[in-house]
Amino acid sequence: MSLKNFGKAALLVAVVAACGKNRQQVTENGLKYTIHEQSEGTRKGKVGDILTLHLTLMNNKDSVLRDTHKEGAPFQMLLQVPPFKGSYEEGLTMLGKGDSATFYVSADSLFTRAMQPLPPGVQKGTDIGIAVKVVNVQTEDEYKKTQAADMEKQKGIDAKVIENYIAKNGMTGKAQKTESGVYYIVTQPGSGPTPQKGEVVQVHYTGKLLDGKVFDSSRTNPQAGGKPAQFQLGVGMVIPGWEEGVSKLHKGEKATLIIPSTLAYGPRGNQAIPANSVLLFDIELIDIQKGQAPQPGMPQQPSR
């Protein structure tokens, strides 16, 4: 469907939706939806906008597959032209800040387009329910300005959290600080070289929250199979805090990195890491090599 026709269809559906809240309806493109809350006069999402929203994914038996409310941070996405008929991107153009709705999308179409297998609990030929609550609608410029302001504020919060942690745990005088705010404490010196941009490093790691809870380790992660993680330094394959912290280590060295949330997973977090979490990584730099890296292990650079 062309962008021009899509805009007309979305406008028509919005008018119809205003007359039937909490009643399931269907667009001419086959998207089934129920509007729960919809304010008149609010700016609605349009292609190219950044949407911040909470969503709950459910199978056809109403079992919850994902709930961003429980993850501690809303989901953010660039609103694109609907990739297939009946996709929920069409429905998002009906909604503005504070609005809510549930969309019912073909599981086959949704996961095939994403080149993913159907998740456990989702049967072929069924619909996925996507309950949405819109937190904000922004242009890309508005989004970038908000992100910059929020990051600057979070930097100050993280700095105080890290300073208190270092003082409380007897690390004062041992912890070295990089220019961007990553701290590293060498626990076993190494005599080898430090890695340079473009080189491939092999590291064993254990990632923890400040309360000591382990969220991942290369030694126990089934995907890693107990092998060290590998990544190419300086090309954005991992979180910025890893890039900078690992570059300070010598081959054979062990150290603890303390990484501000702004150089880790920020306000997004993930299923194992709460939003705006300062992270600890116990790192062992095992090897440094030339050449291209294979697909990296954790912690990969988060996407928007």
Identify whether 302 is preceded by a cis peptide bond (ω within 30 of 0).
no
Q: Please, which residues bridge with residue 186 across strands? A: 255
Do 209 and 261 contact (CB within 8 A), yes or no?
Answer: no
Q: Which two tokens stand for residue 192?
A: 């080898």
Calpha distance 167→254 (Å, rounded)? 21
Do 104 and 73 contact (CB within 8 A), yes or no?
Answer: no
Nearest-Å Rg of the Cα atoms of the chain is: 23
Angle at 197 between CA 192 and CA 200, to 5 degrees: 65
Q: Please, which residues bridge with residue 101 across strands? A: 35, 132
Read off φ and ψ for residue 88, nearest 5 degrees: -75, -15
Beta strands in 8-71 (DSSP E): 25-26, 32-37, 50-58, 64-67
Calpha distance 70→272 (Å, rounded)? 11
Give residue for tokens 């890693």. 224
Do 36 and 101 contact (CB within 8 A), yes or no?
Answer: yes
**Nearest partner of 271 among 135, 75, 129, judged by Cα:** 75
Which residues are part of the catalytic machinery?
205, 215-216, 239, 265, 281
**H or E element in which residue 130 lies:** strand 127-138
User: What is the bridge-based pairing of β-strands 279-289 and 229-232?
Assistant: unpaired
Q: Please, which residues bridge with residue 138 across strands? A: 50
